[in-house]
Amino acid sequence: MLFFKRQSGKDRLATLLTHSLFMTIAVLTVVVLLQNYQVNREVVSQEVERSKRQTSTLVQKIFDYRLKSIEIRQDSFSRNVTLIQALSIGNDAEIGRYFNGFDKSDPDVAPDFRFITSENRVIWSDENNSFYGLSSTQLTQISQEMGTSSQWYLSQAYTSMGMRYLLLRKSPMINIESGEVTAYIHGGIVLNNNFALVSALLDGSNADDIVLTVGSAIIAESDNQAADAHFEWLELYSNILNDSDYMVSRTDLTLDGLATYLTVYTVQDNEHIATLMRGHYLWVAAVVILVIFVALYNRYWLGKRISKELSELMNYTEQSINTKQVALYSGSSISEFNKIGASFQNSFKRLHEQERQFVDLFNYSLSPIILWDSDGFLLRMNPAAERSFRIDDYDEGQYQNLIDRLIPQIKMCAQGATLTGLNIEIGSNVYRWNLSPIIIDSKTTRVIAQAQDITSFIEAERQSQSAREEAEASAQVRADFLAKMSHELRTPLNGILGVTQLLKGSLTNPKDLSQIDVLCNSGEHLLAVLNDILDFSKIEQSKFNIDFSEFNLRELINAIEKVYRPLCEDKQVAFTVTTNVSDNIIVNSDQVRLNQVLFNLLSNAVKFTRQGAISLAVTLSRSANLHWLNIVVEDTGIGIEEHRLAHIFEPFVQAEETITREFGGSGLGLAIVNSLVELLDGDILVHSEFGKGSCFNITIPIEAYEALNQPLNRVLPRDPKTLFDRELNVLLVEDNHTNAFIAQAFCEKYGMKVNWVKDGYQAIEFLKNDSAIDLILMDNQLPNLGGIETTRIIRRDLQFKLPILACTADGMADTKEAFLEAGANSVLVKPIGESALNNALLDLKPLLSQPIV
């Protein structure tokens, strides 16, 4: 018994715990340090950024203040009368003394050089421009570039002393008396090595050093002795906090709000920031060393404390595995190890019991079980398999048959497939095999096959299949019989009822009319019995369909009342109809089946009520989002005995054995009603007292809504000859003379000209020779070529679009669907009633009112 195998090269528990503890402490420490570092760095960064912004703002303000001071002094000069008079008489010495006097009194607001221009030439200069290497020609050119603006102008000029960067401003000198501009006074500042400007910025910005640059070129600095350091500062400038010795901030100077290429770098001592960051690094290093020390100590302690307990636990498991016996675990001083040892003990015990159960299951199973290797060699069989296949010298052929039949499936299972439900015949028995691979470490090592002797099941299945085929054949025979019976009965009925309806219109003698009514009622009764039988057959074969459509519920109730009120009056029985349904209520249900339910219930009530009253109550109620239709039919007829109520909805059952002889009927009416109510998802209840009457209560869920506009009821014309405004040519395809006679008589009442042929081939030939046909009346069961196939040929091959009205004695739904699929416009079921024909012709009137092309 092998539970598991100890593998070498695995980590010890003490090592794993140490690693886990070390990683936990290290991660927590690093997270805390990083959080602390991030917060401190963010605070310091914000403070440094604020300091840099303040420094930049101060530098810009000092720069603007110095220029503004020079600007104010220059504007005062441009309006001085003495200066303008000296300029007008050309007294250059007086002009020089005038400017020198002011410059000596306040040298901080004096420009580096001045000159005056008039008519685009220099007419006076303090000669300081020569000190900076600027010629009069260059001054004139710069003045022209400045135009007439009084704003400061940043310029650069290449001189014998190198490139000079200049700030100039000119102001117009206006003669007060004449108001004319006599000249322009210019003040210029040389930015190269401008120690006065740099010193002013240094004093006001609280910086340790200042550098004025154009791009990466230094043009002025506060300490000329540290030029190399200045270049280092420019390289150290960064928006990111760092631990360098200097903090460098940058200010891009503007003139009157416009950006320039002048940049001022202020340098401040960064020792406190650098010290803070270095201290943080040292603290991180100290924490890392501490974590390593704690991890090493824990490893030593855990190794010494836990290794002993682990060794005892491992020895116990190895002993249990090697001896294949469940030994008693001695316990451990560590609670967790004690629980682990107890769990091992229970697991070994359970596994030992399971292995013994598996062996018993294999040996004592009544089903054959065989174990194969992946190459298809038999390894082991249980006793049931040995008994089934009799592996001995006398049955070597049967054993070899077993091997040959299973080897292909075993090889498939060796590839990883699982096969179930394999029926294999071995000898005289059939076995159903289930084969499954035994996969260990993603490799199939064994294949187990289990069999079940299903010989008796196979035989039973064969008998069941035979019985099912016989039942289906019987059902088909019955369906064919009903279809033929329907055709054979409807054909003479069509003649009987057709002639009866024709005679009604020609007789006037009351006695003759009474006899005709008896004949008509008998035929209709026979037709009702036939329809009941066919409907019940459809219900039994689950071929009864519910077709939902919208219709006016009040019109249906009114139609029922019009039919049964005269019948009740003839029997001197009171008939009352009560309803809460308004005239504009539209419902969605199967109107035909709902009408059939009412007709069956009321027909029974009229049939079995000799005196008294019959009542019909139709109410519509609403519960939540669903409407309910409640129908109550109550009579004072013969009633039903209590012991027969439980069977009243069974087919061919009536209240008394003598009822069929006295009242007639097939006994299918209530069975059909019950089935129709179930198809409509409704319920039907009956309460009856023998000799006093019956009450049928039906509840059906229904969709209903109130229509805004009432549809107009279609009114049938009184005289059929007025239905069409011209004579219609009709092709009658009918093989039965009686049916043809009835159809011709009906058509003549509508003023139609009838052409009669007896089969489908004659109809096709007639249409090929004479296409002036307005309507085709097509029978179904015709000699040579049936009505459905004839209709299909007329539509598909002849491409005729004229209306086709199918008239069939087969009342099956399949026949109607086949006719419509072939191309018929409508289908009538024989015997044809005059009302049904009238309705069909009304539906086809839009197609018959114009010639068919």
Residues 3-19: pLDDT tens digits?
A: 334 444 555 555 666 66
For residue 466, give every residue at least 6 positions away whose Cβ sits within 8 Å of its Cβ, in sequence order, or none.
none
The DSSP bridge pattern shows strands 549-552 and 585-589 to be: antiparallel
Q: List every span in the chain annotated with CATH 3.30.450.20.
A: 362-453
Cα 381 to chain centroid distance, Å, stands at 54
| Residue 509, pLDDT score | 73
Cα 530 to chain centroid distance, Å, stands at 53
List the structure tokens of 3: 């539970």
Residue 191 is which amino acid?
A: L
| Residue 383, pLDDT score | 85
> For 263-334, where are the alpha helices, taking DSSP H only?
271-323
| Residue 820, pLDDT score | 92
What is the Cα–Cα distance from 812 to 830, expressed in whole angstroms? 12
Q: Higher-confidence residue: 245 or 120? A: 120
pLDDT at 528 over 80: no
The matching CATH number, chosen from 3.30.565.10, 3.40.30.10, 3.30.70.2740, 3.60.150.10, for 545-655+664-706 is: 3.30.565.10
pLDDT at 655 over 70: no
For residue 414, give every residue at least 6 positions away whose Cβ sits within 8 Å of its Cβ, in sequence order, or none.
374, 375, 376, 437, 444, 447
Q: List every span in the chain annotated with CATH 3.40.50.2300.
A: 720-849
| Residue 10, pLDDT score | 53
| Residue 661, pLDDT score | 41
Q: Reduced to 3 states, what is the DSSP secondary structure of residue 378?
A: strand
pLDDT at 750 over 50: yes
Q: What is the mean pLDDT of residues 820-830?
A: 90
- Of 62-66, 330-334, 740-744, the poorest mean pLDDT is in 330-334
Ramachandran angles phi, psi of 203, nearest 5°: -65, -35
**Cβ proximity of 157 and 81 under 8 Å:** no
> For 712-755, where are the alpha helices, taking DSSP H only?
737-749
Q: Higher-confidence residue: 265 or 45? A: 265
Q: E strands within 669-790?
A: 683-689, 693-706, 729-733, 753-757, 775-779
List the structure tokens of 40: 């401190």
DSSP 718: S
- pLDDT tens digits for range 228-272: 555 555 555 555 555 556 678 888 889 888 888 899 888 877 666
- Of 28-32, 629-633, 686-690, the poorest mean pLDDT is in 28-32
pLDDT at 715 over 50: no
- Of 216-230, 354-368, 657-671, the poorest mean pLDDT is in 657-671
Q: Reduced to 3 states, what is the DSSP secondary structure of residue 533?
A: helix
Q: Reduced to 3 states, what is the DSSP secondary structure of residue 687?
A: strand
| Residue 653, pLDDT score | 54
| Residue 489, pLDDT score | 65
CA 526-531-536 angle, to 5 degrees, is: 130
What is the Cα–Cα distance from 705 to 708, expressed in whole angstroms? 10
Q: Higher-confidence residue: 646 or 839? A: 839
What is the Cα–Cα distance from 284 to 73, expressed in whole angstroms? 61
Q: What is the mean pLDDT of residues 396-409?
A: 73
Give the pLDDT band (50/70/90) at residue 633.
very high
Q: List every span in the chain annotated with CATH 1.10.287.130.
A: 460-537
Q: What is the mean pLDDT of residues 542-549?
A: 69
What is the Cα–Cα distance from 277 to 37, expressed in whole angstroms? 9
What is the Cα–Cα distance from 262 to 155, expressed in whole angstroms? 11
Closest CA to 60 of 240, 285, 313, 256: 256
3-state secondary structure 399-425: HHHHHHHHHHHHHHHHCCCCEEEEEEE
- pLDDT tens digits for range 789-819: 999 999 999 888 899 999 887 767 788 889 9
- pLDDT tens digits for range 557-570: 888 888 788 888 88
What is the Cα–Cα distance from 655 to 646, expressed in whole angstroms? 11
Residue 183 is which amino acid?
A: A
Neighbours of 446 (CB within 10 A): 17
pLDDT at 95 over 90: no
What is the Cα–Cα distance from 255 to 8, expressed in whole angstroms? 80
pLDDT at 842 over 60: yes
Domain covering 460-537, topology: Helix Hairpins (1.10.287)
3-state secondary structure 492-519: HHHHHHHHHHHHHCCCCCHHHHHHHHHH
Neighbours of 26 (CB within 10 A): 16
Token pair 């470490």 is found at 441
List the structure tokens of 717: 């014309």
Closest CA to 613 of 552, 704, 692, 519: 692
For residue 616, give every residue at least 6 positions away whose Cβ sits within 8 Å of its Cβ, in sequence order, or none.
557, 560, 561, 564, 575, 576, 577, 578, 598, 602, 631, 632, 633
Q: List every span in the chain annotated with CATH 3.30.565.10.
A: 545-655+664-706
| Residue 659, pLDDT score | 47
**Cβ proximity of 117 and 123 under 8 Å:** yes
| Residue 664, pLDDT score | 46
The matching CATH number, chosen from 3.40.30.10, 3.30.420.40, 2.130.10.10, 3.30.450.20, for 362-453 is: 3.30.450.20
CA 130-134-139 angle, to 5 degrees, is: 115
| Residue 539, pLDDT score | 60
| Statement: 720-849 belongs to CATH 3.40.50.2300 | yes
Closest CA to 700 of 621, 599, 612, 806: 621
Helix, strand and coil content of the chain, in percent to the nearest 5, comes to 50, 25, 25
CA distance between the termini of the chain: 94
| Residue 241, pLDDT score | 53
| Residue 482, pLDDT score | 64
| Residue 534, pLDDT score | 63
Q: What is the mean pLDDT of residues 399-406?
A: 75
Average pLDDT score, the chain: 78
| Residue 692, pLDDT score | 87
Q: Higher-confidence residue: 761 or 477? A: 761
Domain covering 40-288, topology: Beta-Lactamase (3.30.450)
Q: Higher-confidence residue: 544 or 296? A: 296
Ramachandran angles phi, psi of 581, nearest 5°: -85, 125
| Residue 618, pLDDT score | 93
pLDDT at 631 over 90: yes
Closest CA to 776 of 798, 794, 789: 794
